[in-house]
Amino acid sequence: MAGIVVLMGIYTMLALALNLRFGTAGLIDLGVVGFFAIGAYSYVILTAPAPGTADAYMFGFHLPMFIGFVGSGLISAFFAFLVGLPAIRLKGEYLAIATYAFAEVIQYLFTNEKWLTNGVKGFIGIEQPFRKFFVSANSYQYFYAFLIVLAVACFWYILSRLERSPFGRTLKAIRENEDAARAAGKDIERFKMWAFVIGAAIIGFAGSFYVWFTSLVVPSLFVSEVTWVAWIALTIGGTGNYKGMILGAAIIVGIQEATRFLQASAELATILAASRFIAMGLILVLIIRFKPKGILPERNTVN
């Protein structure tokens, strides 16, 4: 149960970041998982102990957890800056394809460049924050779920402040009418870049939280399904509505976990696993068809 709350929280963070990028700035980013992976690996490489004889990786800086956490957001943001430098000017679907391709390249790099990532073996047994204060793993789980809720609340607070600030209002103006915003003297590319970079920082932090939850990092965790699930959470919950994002994340994680918990015979297990995809697809299709603005739509703050 605590695990579900944690996953919900992590997908809510991804949805919050996507909302800043897409809901506020209108950027279509299909490379969420790329920044998520960069965040997760940055944390691990910064905090991992020096490599042992069986390890293929060369760098393990063994820095304190806190520095690893800050690093995961900063490094992810830095990569977003590098990607955004040429890509932020691309129109809608071109940006979508560029970021999608970027995330795939990242996955191939992290799978193959063993000197950096230890390849498919990845990193295991990652230390968790405040773990030493808890006797059993079970009680720690609940504490960690609480920590995640706290983190989501922090992101929520910061982002909603940001959205109401002049910066956020300019982004919305750009989303609604780019030419008018340009005519009003706004440097569109700079504002979009900031939204892109801040979004990446949040996704990077979410990467750290994910690493603590799974306590291992392997490349196969970072497949494009993560990106789609984040988008589905945002779309069904309601772009521009924070409560909607939490609801969307809850629904999608609920679907995923429900099919995992139901124990069944081997033959039925395949069908159950497959029905997870069908349920995810169906709910997305149905919500778009009948409630295109999501279950909890954005309140109109533009006019």
Partner 1 sequence: MDYIPYLVSGLVTGTILLLGTVGFSLVKRIENFLNIAHGQVLTLGAYLGYTFNVKLGWNIYLAFLAATLITTVVGWLIFKVFYQPIRSHGNLYLLFTSVGVAYIIHGVIEAFYGVQAKTYSVPVSKVLEINGIPIISGTEAAVIVLALGSAFGLHLFLTRTLTGKAIRAMASNLSLANARGIDTEKIASVAWLLSSALGAMAGIFSGMIGTVYTDMGWAVILLILSAAVLGGLGSLYGVMIGAMIIGLSMDLSVIILPSSYRPAVAFAMVIVVLLFRPQGILGGEGH
What residues make contact with partner 1 under the rule CB under 8 A? 28, 86-87, 90-94, 96-98, 100-102, 104-105, 108-109, 111-112, 224, 228, 231-232, 235, 270-271, 273-285, 288-289, 292
Least separation, in Å, of the C-beta of 245 and partner 1?
A: 15
**Residue 150 or 285: which CB sits closer to partner 1?**
285
Least separation, in Å, of the C-beta of 138 and partner 1?
A: 32
**Residue 93 or 176: which CB sits closer to partner 1?**
93
**Euclidean distance between CA atoms 6 and 289, whole angstroms:** 30
By the 10 Å C-beta count (0-12 exposed, 13-18 middle, 19+ buried), 172 is classed as middle
**Residue 104 or 127: which CB sits closer to partner 1?**
104
**Residue 262 or 278: which CB sits closer to partner 1?**
278
Least separation, in Å, of the C-beta of 296 and partner 1?
A: 17
Whether the CA torsion 289, 29, 2, 260 is positive or negative: it is positive
**Residue 170 or 235: which CB sits closer to partner 1?**
235
Least separation, in Å, of the C-beta of 26 and partner 1?
A: 10
Least separation, in Å, of the C-beta of 99 and partner 1?
A: 10
**Residue 64 or 92: which CB sits closer to partner 1?**
92
Least separation, in Å, of the C-beta of 277 and partner 1?
A: 3
Q: Nearest-CA neighbor of 234 among 38, 3, 30?
A: 30
**Residue 34 or 71: which CB sits closer to partner 1?**
34
Least separation, in Å, of the C-beta of 179 and partner 1?
A: 14
